[in-house]
Chain A
């Protein structure tokens, strides 16, 4: 079981309020991702759940019992840190065994769980090495191993992939997702990378300045962002937010259109602009276009075969049913 409920949880450091009162429910078995720009309070929120920070007010319930005042170890949660936080003076085996040793678990059971975890994470050959002798990906797996042997109520991940290189990150992303499918345990995952959030999450929590901007499935957030911030944060390249005349035509302050929802043509279209930079990725071409009033540059995601150059004049047509509208406060208008 791993149901976590935050009720009016607040965190201040001195006079600075990092997280104003906030409510959040995480269901058992869910993969929840906290995402937001750096300094938005997502790591602090995770550390509050872990018990590594004290709440200023409010309660944290784990499986229905109040865990607000409990020390980290008593909450039944396991955490994987950004820096892996392995014990450098212990072998991989001892690292994985450490939480079980602290819990005073029977030796034979410890051995059995270490063997099982090592097998699941491809670490069997490395059990007697020190963390310093492992690659980044292997260290990450040891950190995960140390977390799974405890059979926790929930896993907490604090930007676990940000120290890995891009290729490894994609691999580990899938490994963690598979682990979640296999264990079916609640996972709370913090990242600033919206691609990780979109690909892994059952539920995404978008945070800004300690405030939850929106909670929903990846596609809900993509299709119906609640406000301009979520609209700009979810999706890559970012949604184009257009103000002024073009927005007024739609009867609102701001309109948003995703780069993939704009048709490019060299002959005709609704809006006209000049190509600034065209980024050819092979599969796609990202074209940054100047001259569309109220949005500079406007980004368009076109087919990889489109060949436009700097200075070319292009015509753009947004897909009408995919235009998002926002009011004066930046909130979505349905």
Chain B
């Protein structure tokens, strides 16, 4: 319901909201600005940085020269897509079962799954590191795909469970009355109806996997290192190269930012699905 708000109040609210938005966005903007400066300009005082006239793309070239961007990019894509696909393969049947054939302890299982997200990851770092070392998964894409999938699995299951619960049971029963087998029911009725939910789950999971830094930094060295490791490699003990660090960051976050931008409508719709009838 719209409420009457005086124009002066509206102006103040807009200004406050705009300022807050700008503050939140500022670090990204600053990284973008620094990435187009020379190293010399980049370490000057902020105002001087802003008004220094030299704009250059040399940092991007230097970054690509020093470390192979495309290798890291490929790793990020493989990890994000791989863990998402693997996650769906596990989560879709799990969520179906919990949504449509709930058992006595379904709620407890869901709570337990979510509770694993409350555990600080560092608590299990050592055991997982040792297991990875012993089975030879350290610095492999396979190993990371598995870990990232497991990290995000509770969220995927929860999201899918929520979407599936929104599908009225009577429609599935109607399909059963109409002679659909379980397979036909899934193909012709369930999946088409759940596609918006599945799509936003996929998008969110790709973003989470893309941005995951803790495990990717700790379990990789060079072979399987994704873009998060690529950024981290620019903060080194020999000194900070602001311009190159910024250029690396821009290159790392640009793909996911662009994807997020184009899919935001779907993402928001998916995340608020079921909140309002």
- Partner of A81 from the list B170, B179, B192 (CB cut-off 8 Å) is B170
- Indicate if the CB atoms of A77 and B170 lie closer than 8 Å: no
- Partner of A103 from the list B175, B179, B188, B192 (CB cut-off 8 Å) is B179
Residue on B nearest A81 in the bound complex, by CB: B170
Does residue A1 face the partner (Cβ distance < 8 Å to B)? no
Residue on A nearest B104 in the bound complex, by CB: A14
Query: With a CB–CB cut-off of 8 A, which chain A residues contact B179?
Result: 73, 99, 102-103
Residue on A nearest B189 in the bound complex, by CB: A87
Within 8 A of A (CB), among B166-204: 168, 170-171, 173-180, 184, 188-189, 192-193
Task: For the complex formed, measure the closest distance between the CB of B169 and the CB atoms of chain A, giving whole angstroms.
Answer: 9
In the bound complex, what is the Cα–Cα distance between A71 and B184 (angstroms)?
A: 15
- Indicate if the CB atoms of B178 and A146 lie closer than 8 Å: yes
Query: With a CB–CB cut-off of 8 A, which chain B residues contact A73?
Result: 176-180
Does residue A72 face the partner (Cβ distance < 8 Å to B)? yes
Residue on B nearest A152 in the bound complex, by CB: B177
Within 8 A of A (CB), among B137-192: 168, 170-171, 173-180, 184, 188-189, 192
- Indicate if the CB atoms of A71 and B170 lie closer than 8 Å: no
In the bound complex, what is the Cα–Cα distance between A99 and B192 (angstroms)?
A: 17
- Indicate if the CB atoms of B192 and A89 lie closer than 8 Å: yes
With A88-B193, A89-B193, A102-B184 in contact, is A72–B177 under 8 Å at CB?
yes
Does residue A85 face the partner (Cβ distance < 8 Å to B)? yes
In the bound complex, what is the Cα–Cα distance between A158 and B130 (angstroms)?
A: 59
- Partner of A87 from the list B171, B173, B177, B184 (CB cut-off 8 Å) is B171
Does residue A78 face the partner (Cβ distance < 8 Å to B)? yes
Contact mask for chain B residues 68-93; partner A; CB cutoff 8 A; 1 contact, 0 none? 00000000000000000000000000
Chain B interface size band reads 10 to 19
Does residue A52 face the partner (Cβ distance < 8 Å to B)? yes
- Indicate if the CB atoms of B180 and A102 lie closer than 8 Å: yes
Within 8 A of B (CB), among A68-89: 71-73, 77-79, 81-83, 85-89
In the bound complex, what is the Cα–Cα distance between A52 and B168 (angstroms)?
A: 15
In the bound complex, what is the Cα–Cα distance between A146 and B180 (angstroms)?
A: 14
Total interface residues on A, using CB and 8 Å?
Answer: 22
- Indicate if the CB atoms of B168 and A85 lie closer than 8 Å: yes
In the bound complex, what is the Cα–Cα distance between A293 and B175 (angstroms)?
A: 56
Does residue A50 face the partner (Cβ distance < 8 Å to B)? yes
In the bound complex, what is the Cα–Cα distance between A85 and B173 (angstroms)?
A: 8
In the bound complex, what is the Cα–Cα distance between A72 and B180 (angstroms)?
A: 10
Query: With a CB–CB cut-off of 8 A, which chain B residues contact A79?
Result: 173-174, 177
Question: Which of A77, A89, A102, A103 has the most chain B CB atoms inside 10 A of its CB?
Answer: A102
Query: With a CB–CB cut-off of 8 A, which chain A residues contact B178?
Result: 73, 98-99, 102, 146, 150
- Indicate if the CB atoms of A52 and B173 lie closer than 8 Å: yes
- Indicate if the CB atoms of A78 and B189 lie closer than 8 Å: no
In the bound complex, what is the Cα–Cα distance between A50 and B174 (angstroms)?
A: 11
Residue on B nearest A14 in the bound complex, by CB: B104
Task: For the complex formed, measure the closest distance between the CB of A31 and the CB atoms of chain B, giving whole angstroms.
Answer: 20
In the bound complex, what is the Cα–Cα distance between A146 and B179 (angstroms)?
A: 12
- Indicate if the CB atoms of A52 and B176 lie closer than 8 Å: yes
Query: With a CB–CB cut-off of 8 A, which chain B residues contact A102?
Result: 178-180, 184
The 6 closest A-B pairs by CB, nearest first: A73-B179, A102-B179, A85-B174, A99-B178, A85-B170, A89-B192
Residues of B within 8 A of A (CB): 168, 170-171, 173-180, 184, 188-189, 192-193
Q: Please, could you name 22 A-B residue pairs with CB atoms under 8 Å apart, sorted by A?
A: A50-B177, A52-B173, A52-B176, A72-B177, A73-B177, A73-B180, A77-B177, A79-B173, A79-B174, A81-B173, A82-B170, A83-B168, A85-B170, A85-B171, A85-B173, A85-B174, A86-B171, A88-B193, A89-B192, A89-B193, A98-B178, A146-B178
Residues of A within 8 A of B (CB): 50, 52, 71-73, 77-79, 81-83, 85-89, 98-99, 102-103, 146, 150
Additional 20 contacts, C-beta under 8 A, given A72-B177, A81-B170: A52-B176, A52-B177, A72-B173, A72-B176, A73-B177, A73-B179, A79-B173, A83-B168, A85-B168, A85-B174, A86-B171, A86-B174, A87-B175, A87-B188, A87-B189, A88-B193, A89-B192, A98-B175, A98-B188, A150-B178
